Amino acid sequence: MTQRKTRVAVVFGGRSTEHGVSCLSAGSVLSHLDPERFEVVPVGITREGAWVLGTSDPAELEIRDRRVPEVAAGTAVALPGDPTRQELILVEPGRGGEVLSEVDVVFPVLHGAFGEDGTIQGLLEMADVPYAGPGVLSSAVSMDKEYTKKLLAAEGISVGTFEVLRRDESTLDDRRRERIGLPAFVKPARAGSSLGITKITDWAQLDDAIAEARRTDPKVIIETAVVGREVECGVLEFPDGRIEASLPAELRVTGAADWYDFESKYLDDVTEFDIPAKVGDDTIERLRATAVTAFRALECQGLARVDFFVTEDGELIVNEVNTMPGFTAISLYPRMWAQTGVDYPALLTTLIETAQARGTGLR
């Protein structure tokens, strides 16, 4: 008797500002999932938050004319938060409650708010559906740059100098400006893909930079600019519980941009990288060890990408931890693992099998 393939709901899009990047990642995931092992159910979430039956054609999830793809309106579906019904149902008029497909595991290829921040993880825990990636706590904490830095600092990991502006704070006073110094980066505290970020070299630019960040998030973080090489390291949990770090990658921006902004990441061919990073064997091992320490400190599961600065004197400073790193055609997370000996299809299989082995609930 032929064994049924594992049904994987690949969920993408979402309400965050990183909707388009999520679609790009999903297209790449759809291209690399092993068709002999997995039956894919694509689920798109529109910018308004509607769940729809998504496209299964990766070609529809590519950049065209410098425009990122997005999820369009379509057949409405839902995942009930009911542990007795691990299935997608139709919610179309006249077909409400009709079962579209059972679901064995969810791959939430969602970046940013309403997906990478613990929200969909909470829904999946309620529904008792296994899912790839970290759980509610680690997803929420890692999404918030302030609390990521505080928890890592408590583990003795260097995170750089930063200040936080909450909703009721309009700007930094002179004392806090002196502590940060210039240049500095002004960022939304809970966003990724370099959206809403401004590099400032004069305090006269601060208020405009805060306003730009607050277009994405009312909570803003201001960080001292670190002079150092930008290096990333992937962390992967295996079904047997092993946690390993990939060979690190070093990024270099070669175009007009002087930092790794959204256009440099996704639209312009101005970024070069080395895998492994050319930082010396000792530094590579320290990067890998620190990445695993950060992963454990935040109680991550499944996967994460840890972003570092390596200073001239060899200090490792963690910039951020991404619990659902990009899986686009140019993303470094799958490339780092390929250079470490785990190719893209095997990487996705590992994530799905780890999700199934872990299950849901307290663990």
Structure-token pair, residue 264: 């440099």
Q: Is 193 a catalytic residue?
A: yes
Catalytic residue among 232, 246, 331, 353: 331
169 known ligand binder: no
Structure-token pair, residue 229: 């090489």
254 known ligand binder: no
60 burial class (0-12, 13-18, 19+ CB within 10 angstroms)? middle
| Cis preceding-peptide flag for 345 (omega within 30 of 0) | no
Structure-token pair, residue 303: 């996967």
Give the integer Cα–Cα distance in Å for 38 and 4.
Answer: 9
229 known ligand binder: yes
158 known ligand binder: no
Q: Is 18 a catalytic residue?
A: yes
Q: What are phi and psi for residue 181, nearest 5 degrees?
A: 75, 175
Give the integer Cα–Cα distance in Å for 344 and 351.
Answer: 11
25 known ligand binder: no
3-state secondary structure of 32: helix
41 known ligand binder: no
Eight-state DSSP code of residue 112: S
Catalytic residue among 18, 87, 116, 163: 18
264 known ligand binder: no
Length of the chain: 363
Give CA 173 to chain center in angstroms: 32
76 known ligand binder: no
5 known ligand binder: no
230 known ligand binder: yes
Which residues are paired to 237 by β-bridges? 243
48 known ligand binder: no
237 known ligand binder: no
3-state secondary structure of 244: strand
Catalytic residue among 16, 25, 139, 193: 193
Active-site annotation, residues: 18, 193, 331
Binding site feature residues for ATP: 145, 185-187, 193-194, 223-230, 319-320
Name the binding residues for Mg(2+): 307, 320, 322
